[in-house]
Structure 1
Amino acid sequence: MPVLSGPVLTGGERIVVLGGSGFIGSHIIPALIGAGFDVVNYDLYPPQRPLPDAVVDLRGDIRDEATLTSALTGARAVLNLAAAHHDFGLTEATFTSVNVDGAGAVTRAMTAAGVDNLCFYSSVAVYGEQPSTPTEETAPAPTNAYGRTKLAAEAVYRDWQRSGERRVLIVRPAVVFGPGNTANMYRMIDQIARRRFVSVGPGANRKSMVYVENIVAAILHFWSAEPRVDPEVYNCVDAPDLTSRAIITRVYRALGRRVPRLRLPLAPAIACARPLDWIAARTGRNLPITSDRIAKVAGTETRFSGDRMREHGYSQPRPIAAGIDEMVAWYVETGKNVRIREHLPPERPVLAREGVGA
């Protein structure tokens, strides 16, 4: 693969983080501040967790080009974390508006503000279901709206890159977990802690995941150096891949609990959850247990190759098992009492004069 030249991050520069008020932003923004960068957070909603005092915190929609262009003035680089990503409660039109139309607005605002360096937080969801472990060279075949619109956004950014002397770094993380995360890993820890969890199936299916501290390190590693590959795309995956049984066992042990011997057969468990699917579809409620979630945890093999990132100098800072321990410790200390607030993005852009509720 050819090696490219392009702008690299250097301390003291201003970075605008789009969508930095959520889980990933709460970890990467302090890391950027610690590395000597001047950071602006631009998000529709206030931060879920307090950000460092040095951060300039702005409210805005990435589809509001005028407000976004103003926020980018004086910046040297943009990290785009903003996305419609929830697996429940969003229409295809909302995914397209936020992820694809939003990408177009970001490129136009960057051009207007003279910013030529972008890191885009994409997803392994672009690969869809593959017969073998996907690498960065695997042809994407997304199977849901999130994956389709993330892939379309990548294309928007690549087109923008080709139209000038610009850099676009694309990271495709697997499932990210860690302190502050309240998605699927949190639900499992919470159910185990409250003695509401029952293991399903043999648990031999392997799961690619990445601890939040490691995805932050990967972004800083590649963004702070010259581009190494073309296209500059990296799957972000911790090693080794753990089986679902190993993940569950680690959580039990981190909680100081014995692993129960009871395991339900997979097929009957999925069948028993079908009525919950019906209830969720008709009430609009995001239920913690559905047949799809059971299948994802207990039956689906979701593995992705992280070889490229390691071949190009990345060294994983934290073992994945230690990451699980640290998330469980956070849960025990504060996470079990956290108030989960799901901010679903609106389908149409929110302009600065309109505002949005906290």
Structure 2
Amino acid sequence: MKVTVIGGSGFVGTRLIEKLLLENSIEIVNIDKKQSESYISLTQIGDVCDVAGLTSGLRGADVVVLLAAEHRDDVSPTSLYYDVNVQGIKNVLEAMEANGCKHIIFTSSVAVYGLDKENPDEQLPADPFNHYGKSKWQAEEVLQEWSKQHSDWTISIVRPTVIFGEGNRGNVWNLLNQIASGKFMMIGPGTNRKSMAYVGNIVAFIQFLVENKTVGLEVYNYVDKPDFTTNDLVYHTGKVLNKKIPTRRIPYWLGMLGGYGFDVLAWATRKKLPISSVRVKKFCAVTQFDSSKAMGSGFTPPFTMEEGLRRTLKSEFGK
């Protein structure tokens, strides 16, 4: 089986390739606009905006795993979300059809649900609040329409929650780093639950979908349970690292006021700053999602949530 990963040079893609390489029956190609630091020989430089390049790169592919996306919350201009995330999926599908490849796994996002939804499952109507979520939902709509005209294709849409793990420098790492350093400031009461996914589990689930082909379109949330509150994360960080974590608290309204202030400063200086009103809102929001469909598919996560968090904290902050 030849698996082509598009956008595999990043955090999740590198771990996915590492896992797939353990299977002797799988041949792997990575197409990315950035060279992979870990798998140079497997990587072809390419872009989802280049149909001709994709058509050439997907020659002989049996399965496509599409990870490439514009995902930061401060991308400028905002049209890039739609150029990459929406037009990109159209280009990939065109290149796949030209090569007779009929199996795609697309990583979307729980951002399609919007904020503060009560444990949504895959049936909840989309309600994205930002350009990233809107562009991911539009990409899903492209796949839905494609599936109606291509009933013999296998199309899996995976909506992961925020992903963390060893070597990642995303939002969860920033939060854990602040907690571990003792510089953490809690905005609000800290009782909002945060669904998260450990990288070792999400790549195992993608491998499961690669190897278990079912014709048709399926959508899966991916979340590792249990859902921790921000207070839980402070507690577990202190326990794993064997240190007392001081926590300063400020009310939500004051945190949002500060976020808007940083928005103005970022606009005035034309610089990307680590704090914004969107990030404060996301930090304080309930991000809890139902993952019973994925867990009822026959897949068993290789790591518990506690083990994933322990491995990450030990690797990143246990020195």
TM-score (norm 2): 0.92
Letter in 2 for 1:219: I
Q: Percent identity?
A: 35
The 1-side partners of 2:190 and 2:4 are apart by 41
**SS of aligned partner of 1:135:** coil
**Superposed counterparts of 1:33-52, under 5 Å:** 33-36=21-24, 37-47=26-36, 49-51=37-39
> Against the structure 1 CA distance between its residues 285 and 333, is the aligned structure 2 distance closer, same or farther, given a 3 Å change threshold?
farther
Quick one: which of 1, 20, 38 aligns to 1:32?
Answer: 20
Letter in 2 for 1:218: F
Higher strand share: 2
| 1:312 aligned partner | 297
Q: CA deviation at 1:204?
A: 0.6
Higher relative contact order (CA 8 A, sep 6+): 1
| 1:290 aligned partner | 276
| 1:84 aligned partner | 70
The 1-side partners of 2:242 and 2:117 are apart by 38
TM-score (norm 1): 0.83
Quick one: which of 166, 170, 180 aligns to 2:167?
Answer: 180
**SS of aligned partner of 2:21:** helix
Letter in 2 for 1:44: K
**Most deviating of 64-73 and 255-264:** 255-264
> Against the structure 1 CA distance between its residues 323 and 284, is the aligned structure 2 distance closer, same or farther, given a 3 Å change threshold?
farther
Quick one: which of 197, 206, 209 aligns to 1:210?
Answer: 197
The 2-side partners of 1:26 and 1:317 are apart by 18
Letter in 1 for 2:299: Y
**SS of aligned partner of 1:239:** strand
Quick one: which of 74, 79, 101 aligns to 1:93?
Answer: 79
The 1-side partners of 2:212 and 2:295 are apart by 14
- Asked whether the equivalents of residues 102 and 154 of structure 2 are also in contact (C-alpha less than 8 Å), the reply is yes
**Superposed counterparts of 1:229-308, under 5 Å:** 231-297=217-283, 299-308=284-293
The 1-side partners of 2:245 and 2:233 are apart by 11
Structure 2 segments unaligned to the other structure (5+ residues):
none
The 2-side partners of 1:293 and 1:129 are apart by 12
- String of CA shifts for 1:274-315, please: whole Å, max 9, x gaps: 322211222232222334323322x21111110111222222
> Against the structure 1 CA distance between its residues 261 and 154, is the aligned structure 2 distance closer, same or farther, given a 3 Å change threshold?
closer
| 2:3 aligned partner | 15
**SS of aligned partner of 1:21:** coil
The 1-side partners of 2:223 and 2:166 are apart by 18
Q: CA deviation at 1:261?
A: 4.9
Is 1:118 the counterpart of 2:107? The answer is no
| 2:148 aligned partner | 162
- Asked whether the equivalents of residues 24 and 212 of structure 1 are also in contact (C-alpha less than 8 Å), the reply is yes
The 1-side partners of 2:116 and 2:251 are apart by 25
| 1:354 aligned partner | none
| 2:210 aligned partner | 223
Number of matched pairs: 317
Following TM superposition, the consecutive aligned residue runs of length 4 or more in structure 1 with deviations greater than 6 angstroms are none
